[in-house]
């Protein structure tokens, strides 16, 4: 069930009404959420429910078993069992065919022939997200960062919580799980904030992402017949397609959760205003970046060792992150490229944390900041080419054509804009960037706008979203495939 | 909670009102576009036509009424519409017969009429502009169901959202000169979409289409209009991509049941592929030749003039008021 489908427009009001009709009966509310989440997930394929149920059972029992025993070897054994079970499921459903075919190709290169057959496996929607979410629980219990829950209903609902089930944010058990043990009272400011997030998320998805997708798909499909600047535009459109798509989903997820009285973590913090790649990764898919930081980078040694060790750890984290996105060499290359781009920032420029917002308190950035943002955006877009391409050869052919054509025909940029109807998508990108830029500026606050203007903007956005989504065949969110 | 729900309801009410107003403004403009064949036909009124050609694109792009009129000194109109199903053809015929005086209807009936295989088997997005008429309302409910029609009625903007790809929301008026000059017929020599090829299809009669064919027959009878069925030529190549024996048999049954003349010319140019631009339509040379065949046949029979006087080959003097 997609958020921008007719079914969901019926589903959510029913869940909302049932949930709040139960007042503060926490367990009943959790039961409603669990049933709703299983209906939501089972809407894709009922068979997927067995996986999420099995995963929930295993980790619930693993958490209790870890806490119950004082024996460190036993605790480690249980943890490893949980890792093997969860990563085994993920590996089987997501990576079996990839590794089988790669092994077959490698053996063929050595002159060996093995009769591997790939399996007809359907990738369960969102398996990477909920697997990492349940793993964070077992790892946190093992590390003593949180107590194991004894409430199966709360735990099962935490794993399957429908607003963020299929595309995150990947919540930490220590943040979300306790919320299922609290009584929730309806909060008007929370609900209004939730509605705003939902509306903004739908705008990003239905307008920005889908309009950019049309252009990006066309350009990536026909890249051999297009000029260099058109290919540059293709990467820009894809950059905003994936941002609108994924951050739109996260906003809707956070908004829906707020309407139900829950708080989910920020997943995006205006990443395209970053001044270097390291800052970009602190602002992009925050829930996954911090997951890898806490559960992979730091256990590997983080940046405590030599530069070589840090570089190795970074490379491992980014390659695994790429592999998390999908079983394809393009994702691995994308991850490795980001690792390569981030290293100079950490080792040479060494900008410190730089977590403050760019041009904080100012409407216009300085020339230096503008150049930094543009340069960062350019290298991120370059990496997106690998993420978007179907194969490494496709990515390299696209890249080499883009560079050679741009060098040979520098004036083609004007032709690229004239020849195709890029205006709607560009206008939407500008609207997105302008709104985010203004919301970054402290002096600007949406709440300060006069009521009629605020309501006018709500009406306009809502109308645009409904007009463009209600009868259009809903397009899936990109991150559902991960 | 009450404040939140109250504001939410207010927000949705304002949304509904604003969009309803917008829809009503747009709706008025839609029928003003007479470049659209449906709106052009529905705008005809107070005219006298000796011959009306009814059907799908297989009559719109197969018979040139100007050639008939030149030869027979008649006033003809071609109300065939591309992709028009039996329901559409009935409603167009109904408009034409109730708003004009018509002597003879030549109804091009074939596998496309009976099998409803068009992308839109019924052009609800057109007829939603004419819901003031009982026949249109009945046809809409018959094709789409009462719940769908009720939703369209309560929220008039829903239809604009649903068929946004079919409407030009901010268009200029068009006086329909294109169709006036051609009397509703048009010719083509190259396929509309050259890359598209027919995939194999078995055409079977659909009950709703049969019902609307019968209604068209009854409508002509009720209006005392002479009705002749005919089938336009088909190329031999159509056999490679289609089968429709049930449709062919049903047409003959219907013609016999209603005692109607049926000119089956489907095999007339069977081996003359040079007269077709695709598997279903004649090119301009094919149109010229087939219209000559029809004209010759019409000159041999008595055409009932709109005034009800039988004439042989020399029908009434052409009159046209709109």
pLDDT tens per residue across span B202-249: 889 999 999 999 999 999 999 999 999 999 999 988 888 888 888 999
A463 to chain B: which residues are within 8 Å by CB? 15, 18-19
Mean local confidence (pLDDT), B10-38: 86
Give the burial string for A457-468 (b: 16+ CB within 10 Å, else e). Answer: ebeebbbebbbb
Candidate from B3, B15, B161 with C-beta closest to A471: B161
pLDDT of residue A349: 60
Average pLDDT over residues A381-408: 91
Q: Which residues of chain B are within 8 Å of residue A195 when distances are taken between CB atoms?
A: 8
Indicate yes or no: CB of A20 within 8 angstroms of CB of B162: no
pLDDT surpasses 90 at A89: no
pLDDT at A361 over 90: no
Residue A304 makes CB contacts below 8 A (sequence gap 6+) with: none
CA distance B85 to B215: 13
- Tell me how close the Cα of B30 comes to any Cα of chain A, in angstroms: 18
Question: Does B172 contact A at CB distance below 8 Å?
Answer: no
Query: Is the per-residue pLDDT at A119 higher than 70?
Result: no
- Taking the whole predicted model, whether its pTM rises above 0.90 is answered as no
Q: Which residue out of A18, A189, A198, A467 would a mutagenesis test of the B interface target, given it has the greatest number of B Cβ atoms within 10 Å?
A: A467
Q: Between chains, do A188 and B15 touch, taking CB under 8 Å as contact?
A: no
Distance CA B159, CA B153 (A): 9
- Write the DSSP symbol of residue A47: T
Averaged pLDDT for residues B149-170: 80
pLDDT at B315: 43
**Is residue A357 over pLDDT 70?**
yes
In the prediction, which pLDDT does B45 show? 92
Q: Answer whether A276's CB lies under 8 Å from A237's CB.
A: no
pLDDT at A197: 92
B164 touches chain A (CB under 8 A): yes
| Residue A414 to residues A230, A406, A454, Cα–Cα distance (Å) | 10, 12, 37
Question: In chain B, what residues touch A470 (CB-CB under 8 Å)?
Answer: 158, 161-162
What distance in Å separates the CA atoms of residue A55 and residue A365, rounded to the nearest whole number?
48
Q: How far is A184 from chain B (nearest CA, A)?
A: 13
Nearest chain A residue to B6 by CA distance is A188
Q: Which residue of B has its CA nearest to A461?
A: B15
Out of A175, A325, A350, A394, the active site residue is: A325
Chain A to chain B, count of Cβ pairs less than 8 Å apart? Answer: 32
Q: Do A470 and B162 touch (CB under 8 A)?
A: yes
- Give the nearest partner residue to B3 out of A188, A195, A463, using CB atoms: A188
Closest Cα partner for A254 from A199, A209, A206? Answer: A199
Please tell me the predicted confidence (pLDDT) of residue B321.
44
Residue among A192, A459, A467 minimizing CB distance to B161 = A467
List of chain B residues whose C-beta atoms are within 8 Å of the C-beta of residue A455: 11, 14
Q: Are A467 and B164 in contact (CB < 8 Å)?
A: yes
Bond preceding residue A169 cis, omega within 30 of 0? yes
Biggest CA pair distance of chain B: 80
Contact A471 B162 (CB under 8 A): yes
* B27 Cα to chain A: minimum distance (Å): 16
Q: Which residues of A touch B164 (CB under 8 A)?
A: 467, 471
Please check whether residue B3 touches A, CB under 8 A.
Answer: yes
Question: Which pLDDT tens digit goes with each residue over B69-95?
Answer: 999 999 999 999 988 999 999 999 999
Is B4 near chain A, with CB under 8 Å? yes
The structure tokens listed for B38 are 């449906």
What residue in A sits closest to B17 (Cα-Cα)? Answer: A459
Query: Which position has the higher pLDDT, A445 or A59?
Result: A59
CA–CA gap between residue A270 and residue A376 (Å, rounded): 13
Which SS3 state, helix, strand or coil, does residue B86 take? helix
Please report residues of A whose CB lies closer than 8 A to that of B4.
186, 188, 191-192
Whether the per-residue pLDDT at B309 is higher than 60: the answer is: no
Least confident of A132-136, A326-330, B92-96: A326-330
Task: Say yes or no: B147 contacts chain A, CB-CB below 8 A.
Answer: no
Contact A459 B11 (CB under 8 A): yes
DSSP 3-state assignment of B97? helix
Q: E strand or H helix at B227, and its extent? A: strand B226-231
Q: What is the pLDDT of residue A115?
A: 62
Q: How many residues does the structure list for chain A?
A: 482
Average pLDDT, chain A: 86
Is the CB of A467 inside 8 Å of chain B's CB atoms? yes
Q: Which of A339, A343, A332, A342 lies closest to A395, judged by CA?
A: A332
Q: What pLDDT shows up at residue B196?
A: 56
Q: Scanning every residue of chain A, which has its alpha carbon at the shortest distance from the alpha carbon of B16?
A: A463
At A418, the pLDDT band (50, 70, 90 cuts) reads low
Q: Is the CB of residue B205 less than 8 Å from the CB of residue B250?
A: yes
Which among B4, B14, B163 has the least Cβ separation from residue A191?
Answer: B4
Give yes or no for residue B98 having a pLDDT over 50: yes
| pLDDT value of position A415 | 67
Distance between CA B254 and CA A23 in Å, rounded?
A: 66
What lies within 8 Å, CB to CB, of A114 at 6+ separation is A103, A104, A107
Interface touch B161/A470, C-beta < 8 Å: yes
Range A423-444 average pLDDT = 80
B161 and A192: CB-CB below 8 Å? Answer: no
Does the structure show a pLDDT above 90 at A195? yes
Q: Which of A18, A196, A258, A463 to mutate to test the interface with B (most CBs of B within 10 A)?
A: A463
Per-residue pLDDT at A285? 92
B positions 7-36 inside 8 Å of A (CB)? 8, 11, 14-15, 18-19
B296 touches chain A (CB under 8 A): no
A191 inside 8 A of chain B by CB: yes
B146 near A CB under 8 A:
no
Q: Would you call A409 a catalytic residue per the annotation?
A: no
Output the pLDDT for position A319.
Answer: 92
B18 vs A186, A459, A470: nearest CB: A459
ipTM value, please give it. Answer: 0.78
What is the predicted pLDDT for the residue at A9? 86
Average pLDDT of the segment spanning A71-93: 90
Q: Is A16 on the interface with B (CB under 8 A)?
A: no
């Amino acid at each position: 069930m997609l958020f921008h489908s007719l079914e969901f427009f019926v589903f959510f009001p029913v869940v909302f009404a049932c949930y709040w009709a139960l007042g503060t009966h926490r367990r009943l509310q959790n039961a409603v959420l669990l049933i709703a989440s299983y209906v939501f997930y089972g809407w894709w394929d009922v068979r997927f429910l067995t996986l999420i149920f099995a995963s929930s059972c295993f980790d619930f029992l693993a958490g209790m078993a870890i806490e119950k025993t004082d024996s460190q070897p036993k605790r480690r054994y249980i943890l490893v069992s949980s890792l093997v079970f969860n990563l085994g499921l993920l590996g089987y459903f997501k990576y079996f065919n990839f590794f089988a075919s790669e092994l077959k190709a490698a053996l063929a290169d050595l002159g060996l022939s093995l009769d591997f057959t790939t399996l007809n496996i359907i990738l369960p929607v969102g398996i990477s997200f909920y697997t990492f979410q349940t793993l964070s629980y077992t790892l946190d219990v093992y590390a003593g960062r949180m107590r194991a829950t004894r409430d199966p209903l709360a735990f099962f609902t935490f794993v399957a919580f429908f607003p963020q089930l299929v595309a995150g944010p990947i919540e930490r058990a220590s943040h979300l799980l306790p919320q299922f043990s609290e009584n929730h009272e309806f909060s008007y400011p929370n609900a209004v904030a939730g509605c705003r997030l939902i509306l903004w998320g739908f705008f990003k998805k239905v307008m920005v992402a889908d309009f950019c997708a049309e252009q990006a798909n066309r350009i990536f499909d026909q890249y051999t017949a297009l000029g260099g600047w058109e290919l540059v535009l293709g990467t820009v459109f894809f950059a905003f397609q994936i941002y609108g798509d994924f951050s739109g989903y996260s906003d809707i997820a956070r908004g829906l959760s707020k309407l139900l009285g829950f708080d989910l973590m920020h997943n995006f913090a205006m990443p395209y205003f970053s001044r270097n790649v390291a800052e970009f990764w602190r602002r992009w898919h925050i829930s996954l970046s911090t997951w890898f930081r806490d559960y992979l980078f730091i256990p590997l040694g983080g940046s405590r060792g030599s530069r070589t060790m840090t570089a190795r750890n970074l490379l491992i984290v980014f390659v695994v992150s790429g592999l998390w996105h999908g079983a394809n060499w393009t994702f691995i290359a994308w991850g490795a490229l980001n690792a390569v781009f981030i290293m100079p920032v950490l080792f040479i420029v060494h900008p410190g944390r730089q977590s403050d917002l760019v041009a904080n308190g100012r409407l216009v950035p300085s020339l230096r900041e503008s150049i930094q943002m543009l340069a960062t955006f350019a290298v991120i877009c370059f990496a997106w080419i690998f993420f978007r391409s179907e194969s490494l050869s496709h990515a390299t052919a696209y890249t080499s054509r883009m560079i050679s054509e741009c060098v040979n025909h520098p004036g083609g940029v004007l032709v690229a804009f004239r020849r195709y109807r890029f205006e709607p998508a560009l206008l939407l990108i500008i609207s997105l960037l302008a709104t985010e830029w203004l919301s970054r500026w402290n002096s600007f606050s949406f709440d300060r706008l006069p009521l009629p203007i605020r309501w006018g903007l709500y009406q306009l956005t809502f109308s645009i979203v409904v007009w463009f989504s209600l009868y259009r065949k809903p397009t899936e969110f990109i991150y559902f495939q991960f | 909670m009450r404040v939140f729900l109250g504001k939410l309801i207010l927000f949705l009410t304002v949304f509904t009102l604003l969009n309803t107003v917008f829809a009503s403004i747009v709706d008025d403009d839609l029928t003003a576009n007479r470049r659209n064949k449906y709106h052009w036909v529905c705008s005809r009124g107070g005219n006298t036509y000796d011959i009306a050609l009814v059907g799908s694109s297989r009559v719109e792009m197969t018979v040139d009424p100007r050639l008939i009129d030149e030869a027979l000194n008649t006033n003809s109109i071609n109300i065939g519409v591309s992709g028009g199903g039996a329901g559409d053809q009935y409603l167009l015929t109904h408009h034409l017969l109730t708003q004009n005086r018509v002597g003879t209807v030549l109804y091009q009936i074939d596998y496309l009429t009976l099998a409803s295989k068009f992308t839109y088997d019924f052009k609800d997005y057109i007829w939603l502009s004419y819901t003031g008429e009982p026949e249109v309302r009945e046809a809409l409910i018959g094709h789409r169901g009462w719940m769908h029609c009720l939703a369209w009625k309560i929220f008039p903007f829903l239809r604009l959202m649903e068929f946004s790809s079919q409407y030009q929301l901010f268009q200029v008026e068009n006086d329909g000169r294109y169709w006036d000059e051609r009397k509703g017929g048009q010719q083509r020599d190259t396929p509309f979409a050259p890359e598209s090829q027919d995939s194999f299809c078995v055409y079977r009669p659909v009950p709703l289409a049969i019902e609307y064919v019968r209604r068209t027959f009854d409508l002509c009878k009720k209006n005392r209009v002479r009705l002749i069925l005919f089938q336009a030529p088909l190329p031999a190549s159509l056999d490679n991509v289609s089968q429709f024996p049930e449709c062919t048999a049903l047409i003959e049954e219907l013609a016999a049941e209603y005692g109607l003349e049926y000119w089956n010319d489907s095999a007339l140019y069977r081996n003359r592929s040079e007269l077709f631009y695709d598997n279903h339509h004649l090119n301009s040379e094919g149109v010229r030749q087939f219209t000559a065949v029809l004209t010759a046949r019409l000159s041999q029979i008595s055409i009932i003039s709109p005034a009800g006087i039988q004439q042989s080959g020399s029908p009434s003097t052409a009159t046209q008021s709109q």
